[in-house]
Structure 1
């Protein structure tokens, strides 16, 4: 996987030109609304100590409303990039089940987004999951890949580190859990 990433130039880090110490500049803009007729699928993954990998997916429409979300814990351990890929896979799989045709998939993992944009090939677990994701994309009329900073992916990031506490998969469509309502309401003020 490392060789594939090095060949694909996935490990680039863009730094802000105005930062005196060379650190990347991050501006809190809040979640950005997708184009008309698109839904945005924000994804994130996090490690649940002693449990596994937590994945969260939040789907919002072009008005900023949460349409559905998914939270799951998988009994896995390993590379964080593979966990992020799992979040992307689960997000587009659920989007397909909901009948969405135009999606923007947004993640804070530049490695995954760049690999998907390039349609990277290889034989590692990372590449096999990429193949599965790209195959699923055939069920959509339009798929856009978007990298965002952590501070602009607050809802998915927060929930990936909060819900759920046990191995399993939960999907909410009509009523969001109270903790998520608080995070979404805070983030919506920044739209």
Structure 2
């Protein structure tokens, strides 16, 4: 796309005077207003996810339900393993769809008062009152004889904001089934434009040198920030969370090279971005050791998917835990080997290893050394993400890796119930075959 815009002749690339992120910035903020293709593609996939949610009589819905979510609806479906590329793509847009779905109350059954989005105003789509164990479903708030709200019960259990929102919802005397609607469209139907606007947020994940998650956090704010400012805001939030949880040594990773360069040289100017970077520099005093590092966008997948996990105008923080929907992306990062393997693997001169797994297939991965303080570990890096993706590995599964020499590793995978995954069976070689 960038080559098409800036042009090229006789195989020679021309200078790209502006980054693609800058060109995707809104025109009113100095950009060209081009669509962020990754977010736009997710918004388009969201349309298919919306059809699986609302068009239960379509030909596609019963097929997908029978294979991927027999005991729930699409919004409650898990990714699982062994799914097709189409299913994984559509499932990946589910978080975006959940950010805009709003339940239209019919009979009120099956709508959870405290966890489902059904009260909509400028403050959000969820009930904000303190949850009560006495009532759980919306139909318990309805007088069935005349299909009207139970004013006394509502005023007892809900705050003023929720009470106003509930009493503003009209009820039909026919008590029709509840229906999912799109909160950001006048006709209540999903549209790509509004979904595209929802596709951005802040995501932060903190991990130790072994890759274990120390904390994870996500925040959605309705703001028209350019990419650099959003990344800087996430970095400031990461620094404040690290100090809050008592960590005094950190390596801050981001896929924005501009921010890394500015912070590494402590260059500060008079732009909006520098205003936020000044906040990051002010937080440096909370750390004994701090380093800035640039990573490729693929290496920042956990934070990017965290940023889309919750609805707008909300915030969620987890300590020593990662949400189930994000766990597969954690597995996609590099695999660190135990210390006892480091000496053995350090003798291998080839940086590219071979993983043999499902159906005798071969994956090429890069073996790199990671140095943390005085310790060094060996780990799989580039190529490891492809192995995780194509084998649909999920959190809680056991993986046995056998080094067979000749830069070859054999891999077997067991489910959380210790049953071997048949799609990943690859017989280990006999000693005489090595």
Instruction: Return the TM-score normalized by structure 2.
Output: 0.32
C-alpha separation in 2, matches of 1:182 and 1:52: 20
Is it true that 1:154 corresponds to 2:301 in the alignment? yes
8 Å contact from structure 2 (residues 216, 321) kept in 1: no
- Counterpart residue number, 2:309: 163
C-alpha separation in 1, matches of 2:323 and 2:196: 22
8 Å contact from structure 1 (residues 102, 141) kept in 2: yes
1:21 Cα deviation (Å)? Answer: 7.5
Residues 52-97 of structure 1 show CA distances to partners (whole Å, capped at 9, x for unaligned) of 8401111000111001111011121131100110010000010010
Residues 94-149 of structure 1 show CA distances to partners (whole Å, capped at 9, x for unaligned) of 00100100000000000111111111122221111111110101110011000011
- Count, aligned residues: 149
Mapping of 1:1-191 within 5 angstroms? 49-51=196-198, 53-160=200-307, 162-187=308-333, 189=335, 190=380
Where structure 2 has 5 or more consecutive residues not aligned to the other structure, the ranges are 1-10, 14-37, 40-194, 336-379, 382-434
Greater relative contact order structure (CA < 8 Å, 6+ sep) = 1
C-alpha separation in 2, matches of 1:140 and 1:66: 19
C-alpha separation in 2, matches of 1:99 and 1:123: 32
C-alpha separation in 2, matches of 1:109 and 1:21: 26
Distance 1:184 1:121, change over 3 A: same
SS in 2 for 1:50: helix
Two-structure CA RMSD over aligned residues (Å)? 2.4
**Range that drifts further, 136-145 or 74-83:** 74-83
SS in 2 for 1:67: strand
C-alpha separation in 1, matches of 2:300 and 2:12: 25
C-alpha separation in 2, matches of 1:120 and 1:173: 33
Q: Which structure has the larger Rg over C-alpha atoms?
A: 2
C-alpha separation in 2, matches of 1:62 and 1:79: 31
8 Å contact from structure 2 (residues 252, 292) kept in 1: yes
C-alpha separation in 2, matches of 1:87 and 1:56: 7
Moved over 3 A (4+): 46-53, 188-191
8 Å contact from structure 1 (residues 101, 139) kept in 2: yes
Where structure 1 has 5 or more consecutive residues not aligned to the other structure, the ranges are 1-19, 23-45
